[in-house]
Amino acid sequence: MSLYNELNYIDGITIIDKEGLILFTVKFNPDIDKKMEESIVGKNLFDVFYNINKSNSSLFECMDKDKLIERKGQYVKNLYVDDSITDNISIPIKHGGLIVGAIELSKVIADYDDNVNELPNDSAVMKLKPKCLNMGYNARYNLDNIICKDKNMVKLVEYAHHVAKSNSPIFITGETGTGKELFANGIHNASNRKDKPFIAQNCSAVPENLLESIFFGTSKGSYTGALDRKGLFEACDGGTLFLDELHCMPLHLQAKLLRAIEDKSARRIGENKERNFDVRIIAATNIKNEEILNKGFIRQDLYYRLSVVKIDIPPLRERLEDIKVLSYYFIKKYNSIFEKNITSISQEVTRFMLNYDWPGNIRELENFIESAILNVSKEKIIIDEKEAKEVNNIFNDDFLKTKSLKNILENTELNLIEEALMISKGNVTKAAEYLEIPRQTLQQKMIKYSTNLKPKS
Ligand SMILES: Nc1ncnc2c1ncn2[C@@H]1O[C@H](COP(=O)(O)OP(=O)(O)OP(=O)(O)O)[C@@H](O)[C@H]1O
Ligand SMILES: [Mg+2]
């Protein structure tokens, strides 16, 4: 059923302009101080709801897509009041046919303070509140949302389509920002489980003493004040449980997790009854494949159980074609958000982008384009050196010099000459024969490189 039909009441309204400035907000909650509401007006949405950004905000999505957006289970961290999970309907506001802002009608479905009362009464928990629970109950992306042209990536997406239909567990590896969560979302939505929950749980965000009750649930009376609570497996029945950063889960809990996965059942803490569930596990880590077992991050038995299907997403620097397509995809997106008219990226900046390492991968690339477009003046149509320098301090003349094609070719040539001279023990005639070039040519090159040339030892 659509949220539109389900949302039988609302308890909050927010209106923003197209830049995200809060124009009006009201929470129909007697506990909320009116002054707080007033102080939010005039602030940017992202400063108040500090875990929300342009890519996960339903208010921005409705403006972006120019249509009503229904969002179930948006987790919001609020600077002023407790964190909560809300169901939202967001609608663009137009003037003269142009989008000028958006309005959101929301209903709080879980307030973290309430949850705290249900959890063990210990100070660590009280301090934490369950802010760490990453409770998105639906997967927002499809495999079609994975933009790529690189042939290995195209194959990987095809493979993901193929394996989505099975129930086998999947283990996704890849550096930060390569799209692991995107794949997990996409696989769930391409599977027969798509109408069931998709729950993403980041194992690094939860303290050890809470993880167990989060996964397996609790029963009334298991400790003072404990209530009957479903664990993630129960809550996710029929759906997909995405275990992000699995390597952060303590090893003893990994053993319990394995048992639950193999038995397809588990007991709530403090309860004897086994409860069955049908959950597909997708696990992910940004630890390199070869280090996962070597360094003992993940138990061998659990790893082999979960890695029936392996998806290793290559880093962006190894997907040069993707740098281009993704850049233009993000240009289109941010042109429309910031009302700019960028049509291209200068040759120099392109060279930089193709040679830069992108340690934050696609997330960093998106950020680069977003900041560049934000900085560019309205009349400019090209992202050039000026914007690149402003948004990435690695972009400078030295970087470009060392990464130019000419420079790379010269370095390779220099290396080969050094190697040949080492093999020939400094005999130029023999080195030239080895390189299959005339002796005279080698001598000219040796003069050219005389300042750098040193036989390899
Ligand atoms: N191929 C792609 N096409 C479009 N957007 C992408 C692609 N890959 C990643 N992204 C976007 O980049 C961002 C990072 O992706 P995601 O969160 O899936 O990465 P991750 O591998 O889970 O990172 P982390 O290890 O830091 O959690 C997201 O906003 C995602 O939508
Ligand atoms: Mg992730």
Q: What is the DSSP string of 17-68?
A: ETT-BEEEEEE--TTS-HHHHHHHTTSBHHHHBTT--TTT-HHHHHHHHTS-
Cα–Cα dist 210/125, whole Å: 8
The mean pLDDT value for 399-409 works out to 70
Residues with CB under 5 A from ligand 2 (ion): 180-181
Query: Using CA positions, which residue lies closest to atom 26 of ligand 1?
Result: 176
pTM, to two decimals: 0.65
Q: Is the CB of 184 under 6 A from ligand 1?
A: no
**In this predicted structure, which of 248-252, 306-310, 343-347, 443-447 has the lowest mean pLDDT?**
443-447
- The pLDDT of residue 260 is 95
Q: Give the residue, out of 54, 327, 363, 366, with the most ligand 1 atoms within 8 A of its beta carbon, to mutate for a pocket test.
A: 363
Domains of the chain with bracketed CATH: 3-110 (3.30.450.20), 119-124+130-312 (3.40.50.300), 321-403 (1.10.8.60), 405-448 (1.10.10)
Query: Is 118's pLDDT higher than 50?
Result: no
Cα–Cα dist 330/313, whole Å: 20
Q: Is the CB of 153 under 6 A from ligand 1?
A: no
For residue 141, give the ligand 1 atom closest to its CA. 31
- Summarize pLDDT for 148-191 with one digit per residue, the tens: 999 999 999 999 999 999 999 999 999 999 999 999 999 999 99
Q: What percent of the chain has pLDDT over 70?
A: 83
Q: Give the residue, out of 156, 185, 331, 362, with the most ligand 1 atoms within 8 A of its beta carbon, to mutate for a pocket test.
A: 362
For residue 316, the CA-to-ligand 2 centroid distance in Å is 15
Cα–Cα dist 410/402, whole Å: 10
Where would I find the H helices in 178-314?
180-189, 208-216, 232-235, 251-263, 289-294, 300-306
**In this predicted structure, which of 73-77, 131-135, 194-198, 370-374 has the lowest mean pLDDT?**
131-135
72: pLDDT confidence band, cut at 50, 70 and 90? Answer: confident
Query: Is 366's pLDDT higher than 60?
Result: yes
